[in-house]
Amino acid sequence: MDLGIGGKSALVRAASKGLGKACAMSLAREGVAVTIVARTPETLGAAGEEIHVQTGYITGQNLLMEGGAYPGTF
């Protein structure tokens, strides 16, 4: 399905698993440059890698920490 959103950017929170990850994957499949955010480094990295491998459309990751944000490495 072509939603006509290719080339846009999106930030998806709680994107390391479940509904957030599914939303990020769907957006990336539409050609959206997706940045994902989550609290758990291991699941965030795995989700980012999976989305990137399957779609090629992920631009970054960020880990939410208490009192601020820690920049991801993707």
Task: Give the model confidence (pLDDT) of 16-70 as tens digits.
Answer: 999 999 999 999 999 998 889 888 888 888 998 899 899 987 777 666 655 554 4
State pTM to two decimals.
0.77
Cite the DSSP H helix spans in the chain.
Answer: 18-29, 41-55
- For residues 62 and 60, give the distance between their C-alpha atoms in angstroms, rounded to a whole number: 7
Which of 43, 44, 46 has its CA nearest to residue 54? 46
